[in-house]
Every structure is written in C-alpha cells, then in structure tokens.
C-alpha cells in the first residue's frame, strides 16, 4: 500500500521505516526542510537500535522523504499523522499540529483515504479531525478517520514495532477497518517473519507468535493508548512507593518484586524502582489523560497520586546523596547517565537531568558520562560546574561519589576494582538498582540504592554491614 507518514520524529520515523520494511511504499513527511534533507542524505537523527540499517535498506526505494504534504497525500491510500502533541500549561495535549495537518490533508484529498492518528491523542480527537476535514471541504465519502496507537518504546522502537504484543486498530467503518488490517497483515499473518529478505532485527526474548490485531472503535483505541501508558506509570509509582516502605522497615524491594512479580496476574515487567519515570510520554500522557477525564466529569485522582509519587522519587534520591556525603557544596560527583532511560539519547523529562541540575544548584561539581545523550544534555544543562567524559571511569576519576542515574546496560557491568581505585571515595549511590548490595560491599564500596539497605564494606567479621542511615527510617533513628 502507498502510505504517507506525517511527522518524522520518533514515532513517525520508526513507523515509516518499519512500514517500508514490511513491504509498503512509504513517504515520510516533515515540514522541517533541513531534517528532510538530512534524512535524504542518509543521516539518522535519533539514536535508535536497528533504525540506521532500516533507513539504509529502504531510503530512496520503498521509503522516500519529502516536505510536500499535499503531493504525498494525493499519492497515498493511508495517511498516518505522527506529529507532536506537546503539553499545554494546563496539562492537556496541544493538538494544533494535528489540526493543521488534518486541514492540509482535507485540501489535498482526491480519492478515498484513511487518515490515521498515530500520535498519542486524547479521546475525541478523531471526531475533531473528521469535523475540520469536512469544514475544509473534504467530501465525507472520500475519507475515514482511524486511531492506530503506537506502543513502541524508545531504545527498542524497531523491535517493538516489528514484534508487537498487539496491534490496536480503532475504526468506525468496515472499509477503514479492513484497510488497517491490510496494512498490518504481514505482521499479523506472520508472512513477514518467514521472508528471507527481511532485516536482521532479532525477536525479543519470549516472543513466540505473530501479534493479535484488536479491532475497536476509534474512541476505544484512543483510550487504550492513554490507559496503557497510565497503567505502566502507575506500576512504576506503585513499586517506588513499596520501595520507600521497604527502606523504612528494612525489607529488600528486589525480593519483594520477585515475590509479587511472579504472580502472573501482576507480572515482573515495569516493576523496577528507581529515580522515577521520565521521557516524552509518561509525564505528558498522564497529565493529558487526567485532564481529559476531568473535562468529561471524572476526577481521576489516582493519576495525581502517581504523578506525586514520581516527583517525590527525585527528591528522595537527592536526600540519599546528602545522606551519603553529608554536605554537598564543592563535592565532585560522577554522574552515570543523562538520558531518561538506557538505550536512547532522549533527555526529555529525564530524571537524571533534573537531579544534575539540582546538584549543580547545591554547588556540586558534576562529572557526567552518557553513551549517547551528552550532546543533547549540553544544550539544557548549565555550562558552569559540569564536565563531560567519554567513559564511566573517566567521569569517576577522583570523584567523591558515583551516582547511577540511567539504566544503560554498560553501567551494570563496570569493573568494580577499577572503579573503586578510580574514585576519590568508594561511594556509589545507585538510582537504578543495577548492583547487588553484598557484591558492592565486598568490593569495598559504601553502596546506597533504592528500597534496599545501605551497605558498607565488611570490617570486623568479614560480612558486609548494613548501615543505619537517615534514609533507613525509624529503625535507624
Ligand atoms: C513508553 C511506553 O512504554 C510505550 O509503550 C509507549 O509507546 C511510549 O511510552 C509512548 O507513548 O510513545 P518510553 O517512554 O519510550 O515508552 O519508555 P519506557 O521504557 O516506558 O520508560 C519510561 C520511563 O519509565 C523511563 O524513565 C524508565 O526509566 C522508567 N521505568 C521503566 C522505571 O522507572 N521502571 C521500570 O520498571 C520501567
């Protein structure tokens, strides 16, 4: 099928490349001429595993880049809208880009097309798209509006797209619903997986069968997207709250996670406590979902609690750093990670960036390392008081403590002997629970993590000692 994907940001670019990969002819559209020209020349604007290979395979063949929205709409049978939907001051989604694309599509319509929301949008957006398109003269028989939410995660976006858990197609007419089914058929009937010429994108662990296609109404699909993100964020805030109780009573959140996560109704994924969730999706989508609920007469105060717990998690981490170091002014701190999570160079709403900013304000000197996000971080962090390094060990050189802020796999595999001898003081404050406390203590570290006892090296009897600290709650006092 000939497809136009409007917006070549994270979702749009990955979707365009993957649609080409599963056999469609795709035009990726953006109004940023510079970005399009860079894409045409072979640049890859985001750090995303497997994306460079897909772009290389399909660029100029099944995948073209253009700024000509009207031309692309005329050629295409399906137009996916994947433009930004940022938060407004009030927390609702700013849909002005979606509106202007819908108007442009209306002006170009020449035969039957499906117009598909791919961006995360609140319920009723499809109604609005339809309304403005009709107002702008698009004949009602020449288009249908659908919602096809995307569930890909940054860092594993290509794998998530090609091996999805489910595909949700929200459509209100049979014609539109069948067109969407047709687009995803190579994934749902498994024919893509038996092709010999497909890209070498390995299936994720545990993947066993082609995705189920869930056909719903457009409104249900819109709600599915918001509710999915809200549920995942709730799971994270829930485990962060449990971690805080574990700290207070001296229990171990890792053991607790094992205990609750092995109940198949709960599941162990997205049950990792830490410095809180960030990124361009959860923070924005939770506020937007709460806002749309309120506008429709329902006070979704569970989401307010989820947001509050998440915000508090950063404050608690800063308190931990203070507990580990006593005073902060003038302290040299190695910060591992700036991206909002491992595997991406995205720093939007990154807890690591917020923590670094707070520590700089306290007068600390930050020695930062991130495998991919340094360039982006330079643009948002103050230049005074921070230096950027090309490895974890270089950042750790002479530091008063090491802070782990992002869960990059390489941070979980550091040479602990080398790290200890590189640091000025053997103190690690781990905001992602990447290490086992006993191992850290046996390598001579004072180790602070989330929801587990703080430990220090063995002194007298050879076994690691648990520390009584202010963060260990009542028992410690
Ligand atoms: C999220 C959803 O997971 C995707 O399904 C969805 O498509 C996407 O938003 C979107 O709406 O576009 P993403 O923001 O890329 O994906 O990242 P996640 O992997 O979900 O992580 C979000 C945040 O939660 C990160 O800061 C991560 O470090 C944190 N997290 C995640 C935890 O603190 N604990 C966990 O157990 C899991």
Q: What is the CATH number of the domain that holds 423?
A: 3.40.50.720
Where b means 16+ CB within 10 Å and e means fewer, 318-349 reads bebbbbbbeebeebbbbbbbbbbbbbbbbbbb
Residues 206 and 178 grouped into a single domain: yes
pLDDT confidence of residue 464? 61
Q: Is ligand 1 within 6 A of the CB of residue 437?
A: no
pLDDT confidence of residue 468? 52
> Which pLDDT band holds residue 463 (cuts at 50, 70, 90)?
low
Residues 205 and 221 grouped into a single domain: no
Nearest-CA neighbor of 300 among 241, 363, 226? 226
257 among known catalytic residues: no
Range of the domain at 161: 2-216
Cα–Cα separations (whole angstroms), residue 127 to 119, 122, 201, 283: 15, 11, 37, 25
Q: Is ligand 1 within 6 A of the CB of residue 236?
A: yes
pLDDT (tens digit per residue) in 442-461: 999 999 999 999 999 976 45
**Distance between Cα 56 and ligand 1 center (Å):** 27
CA 186, CA 242: separation in Å to the nearest integer?
42
To 5 degrees, how large is the angle CA 461–CA 463–CA 469?
105
CA 352, CA 340: separation in Å to the nearest integer?
7
Q: What is the DSSP string of 101-147?
A: HHHHHHHH--S-EEEEE-S---TTHHHHHHHHHHHTT--GGGEEEEE
Residues 301 and 405 grouped into a single domain: yes
Contact 373, 356 (CB under 8 A): no
Q: Is ligand 1 within 6 A of the CB of residue 120?
A: yes
pLDDT confidence of residue 91? 82
pLDDT confidence of residue 462? 52
pLDDT beyond 90 at 397: yes
Neighbours of 304 (CB within 10 A): 13
Q: State mean pLDDT over 122-142.
A: 96
CA 82, CA 246: separation in Å to the nearest integer?
41
Residues 169 and 209 grouped into a single domain: yes
pLDDT confidence of residue 476? 37
Q: What is the mean pLDDT of the chain?
A: 94
Q: State mean pLDDT over 389-417.
A: 98
Residues 239 and 270 grouped into a single domain: yes
Residues 18 and 90 grouped into a single domain: yes
> Which pLDDT band holds residue 470 (cuts at 50, 70, 90)?
very low
Q: State mean pLDDT over 233-242.
A: 98
Residues 284 and 162 grouped into a single domain: no
Residues 230 and 207 grouped into a single domain: no
Q: State mean pLDDT over 199-204.
A: 92
pLDDT confidence of residue 88? 87
Residues 179 and 230 grouped into a single domain: no
> Which pLDDT band holds residue 471 (cuts at 50, 70, 90)?
very low
Residues 82 and 221 grouped into a single domain: no
| Domain C-terminal end among 166, 197, 216 | 216
Choose the weakest-confidence range: 3-12, 90-99, 124-133. Answer: 90-99
Which residue bears the tokens 């038996």? 194
To 5 degrees, how large is the angle CA 462–CA 466–CA 469?
145
Residues 292 and 147 grouped into a single domain: no
Which of 285, 316, 341, 344 to probe ligand 1 with, by most ligand atoms within 8 A of CB?
A: 341
Q: State mean pLDDT over 106-128.
A: 95
Q: Is ligand 1 within 6 A of the CB of residue 154?
A: yes
pLDDT (tens digit per residue) in 45-100: 998 999 999 999 999 999 999 999 999 999 999 999 999 988 888 888 899 999 99
Which of 10, 236, 370 to probe ligand 1 with, by most ligand atoms within 8 A of CB?
A: 236
Q: What is the DSSP string of 17-56?
A: HHHHHTT-EEEEE-S-HHHHHHHHTT---S--TTHHHHHH
**Distance between Cα 270 and ligand 1 center (Å):** 8
> Which pLDDT band holds residue 474 (cuts at 50, 70, 90)?
very low
Q: Which atom of ligand 1 is nearest to the CA of 156?
A: 15
**Distance between Cα 16 and ligand 1 center (Å):** 21
| Domain C-terminal end among 216, 236, 253 | 216
Q: State mean pLDDT over 252-276.
A: 97
Residues 383 and 396 grouped into a single domain: yes
| Domain C-terminal end among 159, 194, 216 | 216
Q: What are phi and psi of 464, to 5 degrees?
A: -60, 145
pLDDT confidence of residue 475? 39
Tally of structural domains, the chain: 2
pLDDT beyond 80 at 465: no
pLDDT confidence of residue 477? 32
């Amino acid at each position: 099928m000939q497809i136009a994907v409007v917006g070549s940001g994270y979702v749009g670019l990955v979707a365009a490349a993957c649609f080409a990969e599963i056999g469609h002819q795709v035009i990726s559209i953006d109004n940023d001429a510079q970005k399009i020209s860079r894409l045409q020349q072979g640049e890859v604007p985001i750090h995303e595993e497997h994306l460079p290979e897909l772009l290389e395979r399909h660029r100029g063949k099944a995948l073209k880049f253009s700024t000509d929205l009207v031309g692309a709409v005329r050629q295409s049978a399906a137009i996916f809208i994947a433009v930004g939907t940022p938060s407004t001051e009030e927390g609702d989604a700013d849909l002005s880009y979606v509106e202007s694309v819908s108007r442009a599509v209306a002006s170009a319509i020449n035969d039957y097309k499906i117009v598909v929301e791919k961006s995360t949008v609140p319920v009723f957006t499809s109604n609005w798209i339809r309304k403005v398109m009709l107002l702008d003269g698009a004949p009602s028989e020449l288009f249908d509006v659908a919602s096809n939410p995307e569930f890909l995660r940054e860092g594993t976006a290509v794998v998530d797209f090609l091996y999805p858990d489910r595909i949700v197609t929200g459509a209100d007419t049979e014609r539109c619903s069948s067109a969407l089914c047709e687009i995803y058929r190579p994934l749902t009937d498994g024919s893509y997986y038996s092709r010999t010429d497909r890209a070498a994108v390995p299936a994720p662990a545990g993947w066993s069968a082609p995705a189920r296609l869930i056909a719903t109404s457009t409104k249900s699909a819109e709600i599915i997207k918001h509710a999915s993100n809200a549920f995942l964020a709730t799971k994270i805030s829930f485990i962060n709250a449990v971690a805080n109780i574990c700290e207070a009573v001296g229990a171990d959140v890792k053991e607790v996670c094992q205990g609750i996560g092995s109940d198949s109704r709960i599941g162990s994924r997205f049950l990792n406590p830490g410095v809180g969730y960030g990124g361009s999706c959860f923070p924005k989508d939770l506020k937007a979902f709460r806002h749309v609920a309120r506008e429709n007469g329902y006070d979704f105060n569970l989401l307010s609690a989820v947001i509050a717990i998440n915000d508090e998690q950063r404050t608690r981490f800063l308190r931990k750093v203070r507990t580990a170091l006593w005073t902060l002014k003038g302290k040299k701190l190695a910060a591992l990670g700036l991206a909002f999570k491992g595997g991406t160079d995205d720093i939007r709403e990154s807890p690591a960036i917020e923590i670094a900013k707070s520590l700089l304000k306290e007068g600390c000197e930050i020695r930062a390392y991130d495998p991919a996000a340094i360039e982006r971080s330079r643009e948002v962090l103050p230049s005074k008081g921070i230096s950027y390094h090309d490895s974890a060990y270089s950042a750790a050189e002479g530091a008063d403590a090491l802070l782990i802020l992002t869960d990059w796999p390489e941070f979980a595999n550091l040479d602990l002997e080398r790290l200890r001898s590189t640091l000025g003081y053997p103190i690690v404050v781990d905001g992602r629970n990447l290490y086992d406390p006993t191992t850290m203590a046996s390598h001579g570290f004072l180790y602070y993590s989330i929801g587990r006892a703080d430990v220090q090296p063995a002194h007298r009897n050879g076994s690691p000692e648990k520390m009584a600290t202010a963060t260990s709650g009542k028992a410690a006092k």
